[in-house]
Structure 1
Amino acid sequence: MVKHKDTFSPVPHTHKDDQKLFANPEFKRAWDALEEEYAALSELFQARKEAGLTQEQVAVIMGTTKSAISRLESSIRSDSHSPSFSTLRKYANACGKKLLIKMV
C-alpha cells in the first residue's frame, strides 16, 4: 500500500500581482462579470451567519440535506445551474430573512 502525504505549499501573493492582473483588460472584464454572483453568495453566507446556523441546520429547517445547501451556496457562481426564487426564498426564511430582489 502506497501512502500519500499531502503537504500545504502556499503560493505567495502580493499587491503587485493584483496590479498586473487588473492591468489586463480581459481579466478585468472577467472579474467585473463575477461581481453580482459574489454579491449574491455573500448575502447567503451573511444571512446564515447572522442567524447563527450551520448548513446542516438550514437544511433541516428547509427540509433538505446539507449537501443540497452546500450545492446551493456554490451554485451561485455556476453557469450550469441557478437556484430558483422559491429555493432562495426558503433559504432566506430559514435564516429568518426575507428575499428581496432589486434592480439598480
Structure 2
Amino acid sequence: MLEARQAAGLTQAEVATRMGTTVSAVSRLEASLRSEKHSPSFATLRKYAQACGKKLVIQMV
C-alpha cells in the first residue's frame, strides 16, 4: 500500500488529511503493513486506498 501512496505522489500528511486522521496514524499504519505484526481493519485499509486514489479489492482465489 505504501507503493500506492508513493505512486500517487502523496505525502503521509496529504493521505492523513484525506483520511481525516493524523500523520502519526498514517505512519503507524504503514509501519504495521511493513512489519505484518498488526492487521488494520478493512475500513482503515479502504480509507487509505481511497486517499491514494485506489480501490481496495479483496479476492479469494
TM over 0.5: yes
Q: Find the counterpart in structure 1 of residue 57 from structure 2.
A: 100
**Structure 2 counterparts to residues 31-50 of structure 1, below 5 A:** 44-50=1-7
Alpha-carbon offset, residue 70 of structure 1: 0.5
Larger Rg: 1
Partner deviation per Cα, 1:9-40 (whole Å, 9 max, x = no partner) = xxxxxxxxxxxxxxxxxxxxxxxxxxxxxxxx
Identity %: 67
SS, match of residue 89 in structure 1? helix
Tell me which of 45, 49, 57 is aligned to 1:88.
45
| Residue 90 of structure 1, CA deviation | 0.2
One-letter amino acid of the counterpart of residue 100, structure 1: V
Counterparts of 2:10 and 2:49 in 1: how far apart (Å)? Answer: 12
Q: Tell which has more relative contact order, 1 or 2 (C-alpha 8 A, sep 6+).
A: 2
For structure 1, the 5+ residue unaligned runs are: 1-43
Question: Which residue in the other structure is 2:8 paired with?
Answer: 51
- Following superposition, the deviation at residue 78 of structure 1 comes to 4.0
The size of the alignment, in residue pairs, is 60
Counterpart amino acid of 1:102? Q
Tell me which residue corresponds to 1:3.
none
